[in-house]
């Protein structure tokens, strides 16, 4: 692989967005006739959207649900992360809604995450319901998740989708308010063409991929998986549950929003494996596993996600973004050792499973020899460059 020059992609035979750092292996990605991905198209659309009109739509919608005079006006699913902290600010301080905060705990909370969650509950003075699946179940599901979806985090993806819906049905609270729109970073939609609207199956389609019934195995019973079970269509229809994303109604800038909740409400950053930023998934000790499996499966990780976002907003050049993406995507996370310990897998078995998922995607640039050769050549080039300095 040719590493002469600066800011080249990791894989020379992979198609990348001509504007940011996102490769064609990203799930659901589409490019326009100029080779620009949907996430970049969406970022440009944000400049032309009448956000005053969008905010009016949001205000009218929230006023309607306030007028119902239920015990709670809405549910705000929160993790204690910077997005959900900002959501609570908008809902409680700007629009004065009575919100029920709901947390599905992945049981992998970091100390910083615990502190941020408690801080948010106290600062916004909200009632709060939290569910934490037992550690033994999480360990078993984390192992099964790797085989099923090529990602260790099914229990988090599924729980984040299912538990707030369970509470909405149980307490008869029809409005759920999420934060970031799918049009922001995923590349699977734009603000003009959102494609995926929130419904019962939204998080299954976007992240969990499979339902709880499909996670049953010799060691995991369907009864144990009840925390991840979605309410029926009939139950959701009876309560008229809907979900909205604030990012579809207000201009979303997670960098500025993080700075706001940090400076105003004392939200704390921390080191996060797999990226150069210190705020995304800071509440979890295992995000490095999620992002490393994505790299092994699709050839990019959170370094690419964040670098691409920064290129779109003008904080980085595309070349600078490519260098940051390569550096952080290719790093083996320390959390992998913990994951192997709790699941009983060896690293060889882990790599075998990821090889299977990579092959299933049929992305020629990510064949076994090319992927690891690309990483090794990049590391050698970095070492040589450091030696010259």
Q: Are 103 and 117 in contact (CB under 8 A)?
A: yes
Structure-model confidence comparison of residues 164 and 362, the more confident one: 164
Q: Which residues contact 337 (CB under 8 A, 6 or more apart)?
A: none
Mean pLDDT score, 66-76: 97
pLDDT for 215 beyond 90 = yes
Mean pLDDT score, 121-131: 98
Q: Give the start-to-end residue ranges of the domains of the chain.
A: 1-25+280-389, 48-248
Encode 204-240: b = buried (16+ Cβ within 10 Å), e = exposed: bebbbbeebeebeeeebeeebbebbbbbeeebbeebe
pTM: 0.93
pLDDT at 5: 52
Furthest C-alpha separation in the chain: 69
pLDDT for 2 beyond 50 = no
pLDDT for 220 beyond 50 = yes
Q: How confident is the model at residue 182 (pLDDT cuts 50, 70, 90)?
A: confident
Cα separation, 155 vs 143, whole angstroms: 10
Q: How confident is the model at residue 4 (pLDDT cuts 50, 70, 90)?
A: low
pLDDT for 227 beyond 60 = yes
Structure-model confidence comparison of residues 186 and 283, the more confident one: 283
Structure-model confidence comparison of residues 193 and 155, the more confident one: 155
What are residue 177's phi and psi, to 5 degrees?
A: -120, 115
Residues present in the chain in total: 389
Candidate from 19-28, 124-133, 207-216, 379-388 with smallest mean pLDDT? 379-388
CATH 3.30.160 assigned to domain 48-248? The reply is no
Mean pLDDT score, 207-233: 96
- What is the distance, to the nearest Å, from the Cα of residue 261 to the centroid of all Cα atoms in its chain? 19
Q: Which residues contact 55 (CB under 8 A, 6 or more apart)?
A: 249, 250
Cα separation, 40 vs 334, whole angstroms: 32
Q: How confident is the model at residue 62 (pLDDT cuts 50, 70, 90)?
A: very high
pLDDT at 1: 42
Two tokens at 189?
Answer: 């939609």
pLDDT at 372: 87
pLDDT for 305 beyond 70 = yes
H-type helices in 173-281, by residue range?
Answer: 202-203, 233-239, 254-265
**Does the CA dihedral 193-194-197-202 come out positive or negative?**
positive
What are residue 105's phi and psi, to 5 degrees?
A: -85, 130
To the nearest whole number, what is the mean pLDDT of the chain?
A: 94
Q: Cα torsion at 251, 163, 285, 79 (round to 10°)?
A: 40
pLDDT at 184: 83
């Amino acid at each position: 692989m040719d590493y002469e020059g600066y800011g080249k992609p990791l894989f020379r035979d992979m198609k990348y967005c001509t504007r940011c750092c996102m490769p064609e292996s990203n799930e659901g990605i589409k490019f326009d006739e100029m080779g620009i991905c949907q996430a970049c198209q969406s970022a440009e659309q944000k400049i032309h959207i009448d956000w005053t009109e969008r905010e009016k739509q949001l205000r009218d919608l929230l006023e309607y649900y306030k007028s119902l005079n239920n015990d709670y006006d809405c549910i705000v699913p929160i993790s204690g992360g910077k997005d959900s902290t900002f959501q609570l600010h908008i809902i409680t301080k700007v629009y004065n809604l009575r919100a029920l905060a709901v947390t599905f705990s992945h049981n992998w909370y970091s100390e910083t995450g615990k502190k941020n969650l408690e801080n948010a509950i106290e600062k916004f003075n909200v009632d709060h319901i939290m569910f934490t699946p037992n550690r033994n179940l999480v360990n078993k599901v984390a192992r099964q998740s790797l085989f099923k979806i090529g990602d260790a985090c099914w229990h988090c993806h599924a729980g984040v989708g299912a538990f707030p819906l369970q509470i909405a049905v149980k307490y008869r609270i029809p409005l759920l308010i999420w934060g970031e729109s799918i049009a922001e970073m995923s590349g699977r939609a734009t603000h003009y063409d959102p494609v995926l609207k929130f419904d019962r199956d939204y998080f299954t389609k976007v992240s969990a991929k499979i339902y709880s019934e499909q996670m049953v195995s010799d060691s995991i019973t369907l009864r144990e998986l009840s925390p991840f079970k979605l309410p029926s269509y009939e139950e959701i229809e009876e309560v008229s549950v809907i979900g909205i994303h604030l990012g579809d109604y207000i201009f979303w800038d997670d960098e500025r929003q993080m700075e706001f909740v940090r400076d105003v409400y004392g939200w704390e950053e921390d080191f996060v494996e797999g990226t150069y930023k210190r705020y995304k998934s800071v509440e979890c000790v295992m995000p490095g596993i999620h992002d490393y499996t994505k790299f092994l499966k699709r050839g990019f990780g959170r370094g690419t996600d964040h670098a691409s976002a920064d290129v779109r907003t003008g904080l980085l050049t595309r070349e600078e973004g490519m260098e940051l993406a390569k550096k952080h995507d290719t790093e083996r996370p320390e959390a992998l050792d913990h994951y192997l310990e709790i699941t009983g897998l060896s690293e060889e078995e882990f790599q075998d499973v990821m090889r299977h998922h990579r092959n299933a995607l049929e992305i020629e640039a990510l064949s076994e020899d090319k992927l690891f050769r690309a990483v090794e050549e990049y590391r050698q080039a970095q070492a040589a460059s450091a030696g010259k300095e």
